[in-house]
């Protein structure tokens, strides 16, 4: 078959953008998010369904830190889940809350609408507004507004990057750092795969929702940590490296890494674990 994107034909491109092609059983991988999140909801203090907008999915779950809150407020880690913009939920996204709250950091899991019911432009707007809301309400949540760290995995990394870019984005100075895991930053190839069956992107929508194309005119970015798993496809590696290079050209401080023995799905489970390379790097960024 003839190439449809770079040197890939349709079948090859679909495989490159199928993270499940690198794991034995995706159901087992996703079940770990749900099981660990259920434990977090059962054992931790949580303020559920804080509303950042009027639509049904526009909700955040907030986990206060354990122990006394310091003068000036606690740090906050904000997580945006993946699922190719069409799966998972904030209730699957609390798996790292125990690790963060145990060391005095609040944790927020962001909810947003899913495709195909919600178009990508609206999903991007939701996540951006959720971040605005958390920043604007930091003090009443007991959070230090100068120590808000944002992260996302897969589609969540794309959405986190989009929340920091564009004319409606908050100043990078209001977010202390961002951690982007296994992200997609140029949606042109996505629009040529099965993923687009739910998204319905045309060329213009793919470009305006691509963080890679917003860097030159966007606000100053906070320090970025971009990480992917060792066991991921070549396209996820290329996406990370091209976005990192472009972000550096735009003036951002960027670190990149490939996490040994990790795949697209188990990598986020290390976010709050300071005994892992990813978790240690996340903690170092937050402390900087």
**Where is average pLDDT lowest: 14-28, 161-175, 200-214, 251-265?**
161-175
Coil, strand or helix: which one is 139?
coil
What are the backbone dihedrals phi and psi of residue 20, each rounded to the nearest 5 degrees, phi first? -65, -15
Averaged pLDDT, 211-225: 90
pLDDT value at position 170? 74
pLDDT at residue 169 greater than cutoff 70? yes
Averaged pLDDT, 65-69: 89
pLDDT value at position 276? 98
Coil, strand or helix: which one is 266?
coil
Cβ atoms < 10 Å from Cβ of 81: 26
CATH 3.30.420.40 applies to domain 10-287: no
Averaged pLDDT, 33-38: 97
Tokens at residue 231, please? 């066991």
Quickly list DSSP for 14-61: HHHT-GGGGSS-HHHHHHHHHHHHHHHHHHS--EEEEESSSSTT-EEE
Q: What is the pLDDT of residues 236-276, one digit of tens each?
A: 999 999 999 999 999 999 999 999 999 999 999 999 999 99
pLDDT value at position 70? 86
pLDDT at residue 68 greater than cutoff 90? no
If one compares 60 and 68, the residue with the highest pLDDT of the two is 60
pLDDT value at position 172? 60
Share of the chain above pLDDT 70, in %: 99
The answer to whether the Cα torsion of 87, 90, 96, 98 is positive or negative is negative
Q: Are 193 and 154 in contact (CB under 8 A)?
A: no
pLDDT at residue 144 greater than cutoff 80? yes
Q: CA of 229: how far to CAs of 17, 89, 109, 255, 283, in Å?
A: 14, 22, 22, 15, 19
The C-alpha atoms of residue 283 and residue 279 are separated, in whole angstroms, by 6
The C-alpha atoms of residue 133 and residue 172 are separated, in whole angstroms, by 15
Tell me the β-bridge partners of 51. 59
The C-alpha atoms of residue 113 and residue 263 are separated, in whole angstroms, by 26
pLDDT at residue 218 greater than cutoff 80? no
The C-alpha atoms of residue 216 and residue 213 are separated, in whole angstroms, by 7
The C-alpha atoms of residue 63 and residue 42 are separated, in whole angstroms, by 12
pLDDT value at position 67? 87
Q: Are 210 and 129 in contact (CB under 8 A)?
A: no
The C-alpha atoms of residue 187 and residue 196 are separated, in whole angstroms, by 10
If one compares 260 and 2, the residue with the highest pLDDT of the two is 260
**120-136 and 155-163 helices, crossing angle to 10°:** 60
Share of the chain above pLDDT 90, in %: 91
Could you tell me the pLDDT band of residue 220, with boundaries at 50, 70 and 90? confident
Tell me the β-bridge partners of 148. 76
pLDDT at residue 27 greater than cutoff 70? yes
């Amino acid at each position: 078959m003839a190439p449809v994107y770079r040197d890939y034909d349709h079948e090859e491109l679909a495989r490159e953008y199928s993270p499940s092609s690198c794991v034995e059983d995706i159901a087992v991988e996703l079940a770990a998010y749900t099981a660990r999140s259920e434990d977090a909801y059962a054992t931790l203090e949580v303020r559920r369904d804080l509303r950042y907008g009027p639509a049904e999915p526009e909700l955040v779950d907030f986990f206060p830190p354990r122990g006394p809150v310091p003068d000036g407020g606690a740090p906050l880690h904000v997580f945006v889940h993946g699922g190719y913009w069409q799966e998972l939920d904030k209730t699957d996204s609390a798996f790292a809350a125990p690790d963060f709250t145990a060391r005095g950091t609040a944790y927020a899991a962001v909810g947003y609408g899913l495709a195909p019911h919600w178009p990508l432009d609206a999903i991007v707007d939701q996540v951006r507004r959720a971040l605005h809301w958390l920043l604007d309400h930091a003090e009443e949540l007991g959070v230090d507004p100068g120590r808000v760290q944002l992260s996302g995995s897969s589609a969540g990394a794309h959405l986190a990057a989009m929340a920091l870019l564009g004319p409606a984005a908050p100043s990078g100075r209001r977010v202390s750092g961002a951690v982007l895991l296994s992200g997609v930053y140029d949606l042109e190839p996505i629009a040529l795969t099965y993923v687009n069956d739910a998204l319905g992107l045309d060329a213009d929508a793919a470009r305006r929702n691509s963080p890679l194309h917003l860097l030159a005119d966007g606000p100053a970015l906070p320090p970025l940590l971009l990480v992917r798993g060792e066991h991921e496809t070549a396209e996820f590696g290329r996406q990370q490296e091209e976005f990192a290079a472009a972000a550096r050209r735009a003036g951002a401080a960027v670190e990149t890494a490939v996490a040994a023995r990790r795949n697209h799905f188990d990598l986020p489970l290390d976010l709050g674990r300071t005994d892992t390379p990813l978790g240690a790097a996340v903690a170092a960024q937050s402390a900087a």
